[in-house]
């Protein structure tokens, strides 16, 4: 499955992706599979029967109620590659076939409360707090279907393939012609004849073409009604008795629509997210965790990007993107420092503020409060320019804190990188070096 909303045209060209699992900002809500299946069912779309469990005993009950010996248990973790993942409990595979309620309970107990490591989670894995148990379907054919937002057509596009149940991006890379596209005019809506033609080109048998058409139109309606950025079904299947079934579902939603999709956004599972990003969102801070060692606190996305660039120019690596915005308070600045300093990889904090709407004095107050309360033991480099900069410098000078200041961006970045390397070298040598900010 796609890890993020991708342009359909880009997918068809199979453009290589950067390995940014730990760096990718998520501007959309992603929900668990069982919740996506419930939304499909409410839309009148056929799915396998199933239920969610959060304990071994609940898993036993769900399996017993299904009344079949052919079932599948799936770890509910927001990452692709679950089937090939490994739990820290030692269990291999986050998707397993089971044949009895007892097996459901056994596998649930090995999954629940444990972290699943997949190709998309990184080495830390993601915690599994629930499992989805559903009936196992024996199908004739499997297809791929999704509704995405496409930059090229500047609107929704249906993306489909006769090759479902596999990694669709591998299909796109190896055989781009296997990827079918149908752009939708958002003002005119779906053209049923065009969707029916798509179903025929996908390879649905004549008995299933109309049902497949209805299913795809219902999925598009769900996409529009819920302000989704992606609805992906992999696989969409044709059963032995010629029924169209959505075997799996992944749905992402536009965060900007939260104000009118409160019911959907209440389904958010913060345990699947970077806790630093969750904390940042609480204080209206724009934060993205990266892999470097220099923590950045900046106002304005453009300046933040430039700050990261100049850090890299001097041979350093930024630990984060953090934009406090133009109207930050001293409290928000303090919380930003808490988030940055909670990353054990951070060896220096670089604060770069250009005060326009944002007052340098407010930033200075936040810096002083954070340095005083957090007992920072790593270097803190501060570069301030703009509104009330003189007042800010005076506050810092009178604070009694050992803060390294510079008016020049290049000089401040250079100092940040050098100090970061000093701390890193000391840590590598297992020498306890601390930079105590209170003098």
Residues noted as catalytic: 144, 232
Of 313, 381, 392, nearest to 346 (Cα)?
Answer: 381
How many CB atoms are located within 10 Å of the residue 111 CB? 27
Signed CA dihedral, 432, 373, 289, 79: sign only? positive
Residue 199: burial class (beta carbons within 10 Å; 0-12, 13-18, 19+): buried
- The b-or-e profile of 201-210 (16+ CB within 10 A means b, else e) is ebbbeeebbe
Question: Helices (DSSP H) in 175-237: which residue ranges?
Answer: 192-202, 206-225
Element (H, E) at 96: strand 95-98
| Cβ atoms 14, 176 nearer than 8 A | yes
State how far the Cα of 144 lies from the Cα of 17, in Å rounded to an integer.
20
Half-sphere exposure of 63 (CA within 13 A, CB side): 28
First to last CA, the chain: 53
State how far the Cα of 74 lies from the Cα of 51, in Å rounded to an integer.
11
Question: Helices (DSSP H) in 43-130: which residue ranges?
Answer: 56-66, 101-111
State how far the Cα of 408 lies from the Cα of 439, in Å rounded to an integer.
24
Q: How many helices (H) and strands (E) does the chain have?
A: 14, 20
């Amino acid at each position: 499955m796609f890890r993020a909303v991708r342009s359909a045209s880009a997918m068809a060209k199979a453009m290589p992706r950067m390995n940014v699992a730990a760096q990718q900002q998520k501007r959309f809500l992603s929900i668990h599979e069982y919740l996506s299946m419930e939304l499909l069912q409410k839309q009148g779309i056929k799915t396998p029967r199933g239920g969610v469990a959060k304990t071994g005993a609940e898993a036993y009950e769900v399996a017993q109620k299904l009344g079949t010996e052919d079932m599948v248990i799936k770890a509910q973790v927001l990452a692709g590659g679950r089937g090939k993942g490994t739990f820290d409990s030692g269990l291999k595979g986050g998707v397993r076939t089971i044949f009895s309620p007892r097996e459901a309970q056994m596998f649930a107990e090995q999954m629940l409360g444990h972290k699943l490591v997949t190709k998309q989670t990184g080495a830390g894995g993601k915690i599994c707090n629930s499992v989805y148990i559903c009936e196992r379907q024996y199908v004739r054919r499997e297809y791929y279907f999704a509704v995405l937002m496409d930059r090229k057509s500047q609107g929704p596009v249906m993306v489909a393939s006769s090759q479902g149940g596999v990694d669709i991006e591998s299909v796109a890379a190896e055989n781009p012609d296997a990827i079918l596209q149908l752009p939708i005019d958002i003002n005119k809506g779906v053209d049923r004849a065009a969707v029916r033609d798509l179903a025929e080109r996908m390879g649905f048998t004549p008995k299933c073409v109309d049902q497949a058409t209805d299913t795809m139109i219902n999925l598009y309606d769900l996409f529009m009604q819920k302000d989704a950025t992606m609805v992906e079904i992999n696989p969409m299947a044709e059963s032995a008795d010629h029924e169209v079934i959505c075997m799996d579902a992944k749905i992402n939603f536009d965060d900007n629509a939260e104000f009118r999709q409160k019911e959907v956004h209440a389904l958010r599972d913060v345990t699947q997210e970077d806790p630093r990003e969750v904390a940042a969102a609480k204080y209206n801070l724009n934060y993205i965790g990266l892999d470097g060692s220099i923590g950045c606190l900046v106002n304005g996305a453009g300046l933040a990007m430039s700050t990261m660039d100049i850090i890299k120019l001097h041979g350093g690596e930024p630990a984060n993107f953090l934009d406090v915005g133009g109207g930050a308070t001293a409290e928000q600045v303090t919380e930003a420092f808490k988030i940055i300093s909670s990353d054990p990889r951070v060896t220096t904090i670089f604060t770069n503020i250009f005060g326009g709407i944002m007052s340098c004095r407010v930033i200075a107050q936040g810096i002083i409060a954070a340095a005083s309360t957090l007992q920072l033991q790593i270097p803190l480099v501060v570069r301030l320019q703009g509104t009330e900069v003189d007042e800010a410098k005076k506050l810092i000078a009178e604070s009694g804190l050992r803060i390294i200041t510079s008016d020049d961006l290049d000089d401040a970045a250079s100092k940040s990188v050098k100090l970061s390397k000093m701390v890193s070298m000391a840590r590598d040598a297992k020498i306890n070096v601390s930079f105590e900010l209170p003098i």
